Chain A
């Protein structure tokens, strides 16, 4: 069977599985739709949370970015797992005790104000929409390869399918479907990693293989990667910091607290049966997430080595990297490169006219390259394709390539659809029904939800055509926006009895405002290309302490905390009954079933 036919077959089978389970589970119980997770074993609930969490950014994009960044890529790994520790200790048990369904409901009640709740909804919408832009970038990559079309056509097709998936909707809420999705995701991610680790190091576990020896030599694998990339003029793999230590610190911080501030993650902990379960279920979720996240560094380094080995025979064979015959001829390039060229995400340009592919860092050309007459780097590989192309680069069997495609599509679709649902309920329920148009009929609410979903996907798709960054980079910005607005408001709501509505509102506005201005100055107003306004700040990128826009949410969160604290000191204390409410939230006993319409 041809590769393409195998891919269609495997993708078709996995989707049939999800739909089959959805129909079966729905017939079993309809109440599960809302109270996802009650009565479900914490381990299964953890898997479902893992599927919710692992989006196109984690699955498709992250390892490719780590491959490009080296050591500095660790900020994604630490940032997107360390947040669960914060979530488990600072938010989950208390929000569960509070017993409401959504973040705006908590903010509205705790800060006794519809104004605070509206500000929270708007912050959520900004963060979620940015998140979807990143997802659409990933959807575009997955669909362009899946269908063999250009990246832009891939995004258009993806927009349509994500919309249908989200309207079909209920699938998202059913825990067992997500458990199945998790299984597909994790097999799709780990099986090729095991194959590759085995081939390169003789150790089947990538977590150990990455620390092992390069097969057939007494050199460590990481030592080999370091040697190859530095010989080709790239920075050393195991030590290259992301811009600066401070930037890496702030970036990691931003991702961690953003994790604990994103609505679609928090909501899973509102609905566990008990406060005690809220604590442990964060742990189980992290176990299942960590399986993928600890595999990713191996995938990254090994894919990098294999990519270099593909275009330069001296990488594995030994000999002179710069000898003419060691660069492969473009005519003889492997089939996977031809397939990715169709998508436009992999490009070759024969700058020195020798018909061979030279892949190196031309900004810091090694002496050997200059002497050999290399005239600039000729191969550009979009980092977002690394994971999907990885099994092809390593020449793994067709069924593995097909499995990875199925995993990538599942990751991209499920999270994008989940976010669209969150956006539609925030607009139709939290904004329209609760605040602006209380006498909206149920039908009207449903219609408003669908319209807002359609608008969100068109906006995200359009911006995804010219994405502000790679998928994981854009998603990191979304985390920064959540970090600078939602997390501080929630945390102070629980840990500071005296925090009042004035402080919370001022903090959220200042935090997200600061973050948005910094991001938009670099990436364009609402991410529209050509509207950057760096000139207003002296025209230099990363002008604030050398911190990049993707990381600025960490600083925005500090602004939020600071402003909120100062404002709360000069305005009246919250009413007595709110302070009692906070005290009761801190104690597990007496937790009730979740209420509040959704």
Chain B
């Protein structure tokens, strides 16, 4: 693999990681902690919404994030032809 392609591959990887980490941060630290009080005014069934993000919602998003990351990372590997045979 050329040095240039290597750099592009690593850049694409870092970009994906940054996007996933952004969502990861928003749902837990954002919705679950920093904005929890404000969100508690909204009701999700019987759940105040800030409470729901802290004790339910963020966990569902975490699970989804890992599978999305694994899929997209697989695509990047194929695009740069560095995937395992």
A interface residues with partner B (beta carbon < 8 Å): 66, 71, 73-75, 77-78, 81-82, 84-85, 88-90, 93, 207-208, 210-213, 220-223, 238-239, 245, 248-249, 252-253, 274-276, 279-280, 282-283, 286-287, 290, 293-294, 297, 583, 586-589, 591
Contacts and interface: CB of A to CB of B under 8 A. Distances in A.
Q: Which of B60, B65, B70 has the most CB of A within 10 A?
A: B70
A585 to B, nearest CB: 11
A275 B82 CA distance: 11
Given A221-B46, A589-B83, A88 B70 contact: yes
Interface string B39-77: 010001111101110111011101101110110011001
A81 B58 CA distance: 9
7 contacts: A74-B32, A77-B54, A77-B59, A89-B69, A223-B46, A283-B63, A290-B59
B19 to A, nearest CB: 11
Nearest to B24: A85
Contacts of B59: 77-78, 81, 290, 293-294
Contact of B58 (A66, A82, A93): A82
Cβ-closest 8 pairs across A and B: A74-B54, A220-B46, A283-B66, A211-B45, A279-B70, A297-B55, A211-B47, A211-B46
A588 B63 CA distance: 23
Counting contact residues on chain B (CB < 8 A from A), the size range is 35 or more
Given A249-B29, A279-B69, 11 more contacts: A71-B54, A74-B54, A78-B58, A81-B59, A89-B21, A210-B56, A223-B46, A239-B37, A252-B29, A294-B60, A589-B84
Nearest to A238: B51
B70 A81 contact: no
Given A82-B62, A211-B46, A222-B46, A238 B40 contact: yes
A503 B74 CA distance: 33
A332 B63 CA distance: 47
A124 to B, nearest CB: 25
Among B10, B37, B55, B59, residue most surrounded by chain A Cβ atoms (within 10 Å): B55
B52 A245 contact: no
Contact of B77 (A74, A208, A248, A588): A588
Nearest to A220: B46
A88 B77 CA distance: 16
Give chain B's interface secondary structure class. helix
Contacts of B74: 276, 279
B48 A238 contact: yes
B69 A248 contact: no
A88 B37 CA distance: 31
A290 B63 contact: yes
A73 B32 CA distance: 11
A88 B66 contact: yes
A253 B28 CA distance: 10
B44 to A, nearest CB: 7
A287 B52 contact: no
Contacts of B52: 211
B48 A84 contact: no
A290 B51 contact: no
B83 A588 contact: yes
Contact of B46 (A66, A73, A74, A212): A212
A248 B55 CA distance: 13
Contacts of A586: 9-10, 13
B51 A239 contact: yes
B82 A587 contact: yes
B84 A591 contact: yes
B63 A286 contact: yes
Nearest to B28: A78
Contacts of A74: 32, 51, 54-55
Nearest to B6: A583
B54 to A, nearest CB: 3
Interface in B11-35: 13, 17, 20-21, 24, 28-29, 32-34
A84 B46 contact: no
A276 B84 contact: yes
Given A78-B28, A89-B17, A286-B63, A222 B33 contact: no
Contacts of A293: 59
Contacts of A210: 46-47, 56
Contact of B63 (A71, A77, A90, A287): A287
Contacts of B21: 85, 89
Nearest to B10: A586
B77 A212 contact: no
B46 A245 contact: no
A249 B50 CA distance: 14
Given A78-B54, A276-B84, A290-B59, A89 B28 contact: no
A73 B36 CA distance: 13
B20 A85 contact: yes
A211 B56 CA distance: 10
Contact of A212 (B17, B28, B45, B55): B45
B66 A71 contact: no
Nearest to A273: B84
Given A245-B34, A588-B82, A222 B51 contact: yes
Given A78-B32, A245-B33, A213 B62 contact: no
A220 B40 CA distance: 14
Contacts of A93: 73
B66 A85 contact: yes
B57 to A, nearest CB: 10
A72 B33 CA distance: 9
A460 B34 CA distance: 37
Given A88-B70, A89-B17, A280-B70, A248 B63 contact: no
A548 to B, nearest CB: 15
A529 to B, nearest CB: 33
A73 B63 contact: no
B56 A587 contact: no
A204 to B, nearest CB: 15
- With a 10 A CB-CB cut-off, give which of B28, B37, B59, B67 has the most chain A CB atoms: B59
Contacts of B85: 589
